[in-house]
Chains A and B, each alone.
Chain A
Amino acid sequence: MERAERVPQPAPPNGRRLAPLLSLLFPGAGHIYAGRQERGLWIAVTAATLLTLLWWLKFWSLLPALVPFWLWNAWETRTIVQGRRPSTVKLVLSAAIIVYAIGWRVTEIDVQRLAAGAQKIRPFVVSLVRPYYVDREVTYAAFPAPVQVPCGEEPSPPPAGAGSGPTIVPTPACASVGETITVRGEGFPPNVEGELWWENPIGDRVRLRSGGEFVTFVADEQGTFEVKVTVPDVVPRQFQESAQLHTVEARYVRDVGPWRLTETSYLVAQRMGETIAQALMATTWGAIFAVPLSFFAARNLMQFHPLALLVYYLARTALNVLRAIEPLIMAIVFVVWVGLGPFAGVLALTMHSIAALGKLYSEAIESIDPGPIEAITATGANRVQVVWYAVLPQVLPPFVAFTVYRWDINVRMSTIIGFVGGGGIGFLLQQWIRLTDFRSASAAIWAIALVVTVLDFFSRKVRERFV
């Protein structure tokens, strides 16, 4: 193409003025008139596609963005009839204006939302540096005081007498749901930080919140503090009529135990194991099915008969179609088929691996060097010997390299196949993100990063040795 453009095309008589006008009428028309059929056709198809897109999406307001392309194509036609070489880069750039204008609209890009949502994502970013792998067992010192909800005819219980240890006093000692009471603490260790909890009459506890944040207190030098809390809605409506005794509780950390692995760690380790196993099984099954298939999809092996060639085309098409469908989509189908769990994931990944490996294998077979085969055959070797000494040594290294590479990819894939119920770590990760348990999510993400990076490195080493 490069070279073809350098040959100056003779401008048709009277074409000097007509060609740019034609291109202005419809892009590419002038090119075709001036003898640049291929370029003109490409430009015309591009313009038609863009117009169709605008029509389909009803984006008529973006029509001005099409103007630069329209004008440039006419200008370019002028360049051509003058015998100069048109610049493809500039033409593509002028078309890019309208393409990106459409893209910007279609994908709803909104920088404001990015800025506005930053608050929501902050806890996640903070959690990223604190993955929840280890924690310490914590024992609390807890100091309760009764609160009557709502105020009834019976007098509310007297506040607990001032003992020697820390005490808290809620005032007033009775309130309705949603009302604010003041909790005053005395006799606490100086400067201690703590949290406030609420217990309903049947012993369910919640940590008190105010405006989305947990309520905390900090004692002063004398060991006293005062915080306002809102009586939480922790009893079913129909029982809120009669006065009941609830408990408000102030707690602080008395003792911190040794470091230990969290439940999250165990879960992450177990699911990462599942992820790796899944990928290994899928790669193995994929390879087992892909090897025979790849022979049918290798052109150099299937040229001996028209029927064989037909088989070749069928195999190639099947592999291409299968490869185009993401394993996640297949996983949804297999979840319907065999139920939730890692097996569905294995099946989906297997299908995709067959397609991907089949294509790579068959390309490896197609690119073998016929020289050694000729040489071994010339020694009088039989077919099996030829395959063993001339074909296998050539195809085995790329086969192994591709398979290891596939395992690597399958591990990546199986980290997300759980999103649709296909097993592996994906399901847990998604749950944690949805429940805003970002520290656990962070633990899972770092585990994925570690395993994938290690496997990536390992597979790269293996491939370097084989290729």
Chain B
Amino acid sequence: MSERSFYVRWGRYLLLVALAIPLYIWSWRTADINLVDLIQGAPKARPIISDLVRPSLLARERVTLSVSAVVRVPCDAPPPEPPPAEGPTLTLSATCLNARDSLVVSGSGFRPNTPGRLYWRVAGLEGRLRDEPFETDAQGRFTVETDIPPLLAQQGGDHTLEAELKWEAGALRPSETLRTTIDKMIETVFLALMATTFGGLVAIPLSFLGARNLMPTTPWGTTLYVAVRSFFNTARSIEPLILATIFAIWVGFGPFAGVLALSVHTIASLGKLYSEAAENIDPGPIEAIRSTGANEWQVIWYGVVPQIVPPYVSFTVYHWDINVRMSTIIGFVGGGGIGLELQRWINQLQWNSAATAVWAIVLVVSAMDYASAIVRERLV
């Protein structure tokens, strides 16, 4: 290729680019590109990015201390004297009150410098009512003022006031998020492994049918070849996520649906890669083996198989890598793996948890990427 023809060619492509401008205008509009939204929305993205660097990995055990006292509302008769307590104690300004009366609660002997909160257990009702928060001082004392909620008067009777302190103690251990993430990442990797294996096993025989040089040139052979190749091309164009939606209806939500969806996609992609590899084999050794008087089975075993094993293994490892990526998202539609948890965490705006999952994905996918590259290098 001379230098001149090179630039003549590029001139032609420049012309093509000019023709592409209307296409771009249409695309810009259809894709709803809106840079204003991007900039105005930036504050919403702030917590995402700041939490991305603070994934939830470790947590300490949480300790809860609760001390209670009895209060009568409305005040129709004096309440029984509280038994004298050891350790942390609550002192109330009054134990018999009416609605909206003011109540001063003070405590002593608590854990110093710890946040806490008051709760009401209302007589005759389930659950408890949230009230004022407080924090203990350096001596473990606190004082907090609150109003009696009207609900207490409505119900009537002896109600329990609880002062509850929560703090972290004990050794660091993997947080609940991390444990879930590890569980789901194991599932993700195995999901990909099973799908690659099943897909590969089905793709191997199919790939022989899809290799022009291995199929006889009879009308039947050609028809079968065209049919297999069309199946590869069509099935390959449907993303595994779409297949997973369908398999989730078939076998229910869970990793099995994901395995099936990825398997079908793997059959198609690997089938295509395999048959192309089979088409590229050197006919020389086959000819040589045949000339020794070997039968067809022997020709395949000694002439074809040794030539296709390295590319087949290399493509399979490569596809496992791709399947791991896919199975990180297949949970979005109920196909198992980390996807479901990740989507849940993002939807509930638990960005720390989401960050844990994202970093786990990055780690595993990069490791797989690296490992598959090494394996493929060794094989060639």
Contacts and interface: CB of A to CB of B under 8 A. Distances in A.
B210 interface: no
A135 B3 CA distance: 57
Interface stretch (A101-109, A154-162, A377-385): A101-109
Contact of A338 (B41, B182, B361, B369): B41
B57 interface: no
> In this complex, which of A99, A329, A339, A423 has the most chain B Cβ atoms within 10 angstroms of its Cβ?
A329
A110 B332 contact: no
A413 B378 CA distance: 31
A202 interface: no
A62 interface: no
Main secondary structure of the interface of A (DSSP, over half): helix
B148 interface: no
Given A326-B325, A433-B246, A277 B41 contact: no
Interface string A131-143: 0000000000000
Given A107-B190, A107-B259, A280 B24 contact: yes
Interface residues of B, number: 68
Contacts of B194: 100, 103-104, 107, 109
Main secondary structure of the interface of B (DSSP, over half): helix
Contacts of B34: 338, 343
Interface string B48-62: 100000000000000
A337 B32 contact: no
A412 B268 CA distance: 15
A328 interface: yes
B251 interface: yes
B32 A433 contact: no
Given A113-B251, A445-B238, A343 B328 contact: no
Given A110-B256, A117-B251, A321-B366, A281 B237 contact: no
A448 B238 CA distance: 7
Given A342-B31, A423-B31, A121 B245 contact: no
A83 B34 CA distance: 70
B196 to A, nearest CB: 10
A117 B250 contact: yes
Contacts of A107: 187, 190-191, 194, 255-256, 258-259, 336
B27 interface: yes
B237 A118 contact: no
Given A56-B182, A393-B6, A430 B45 contact: no
Contacts of B369: 320, 324
Interface residues of A, number: 70
B128 to A, nearest CB: 34
Interface of A: 1, 53, 56-57, 99-100, 102-104, 106-110, 113-114, 117-118, 120-121, 124, 273-274, 276-278, 280-281, 284, 320-321, 324-326, 328-329, 332-333, 336-339, 341-343, 345-347, 389, 393, 396, 400, 412-413, 415-416, 419-420, 423, 426, 429-430, 433-434, 445, 448-449, 452-453, 456
Nearest 8 CB-CB pairings of A with B: A452-B237, A277-B27, A324-B365, A277-B30, A103-B190, A107-B255, A117-B250, A338-B37
Interface of B: 3, 6, 10, 13, 23-24, 26-28, 30-34, 37-38, 41-42, 44-45, 48, 182-183, 186-187, 190-191, 193-194, 197, 233-234, 237-239, 241-242, 245-246, 249-252, 254-256, 258-260, 325-326, 328-329, 332-333, 336, 342-343, 346-347, 349, 358, 361-362, 365-366, 369, 378
6 contacts: A324-B362, A326-B326, A336-B44, A339-B37, A343-B33, A449-B238
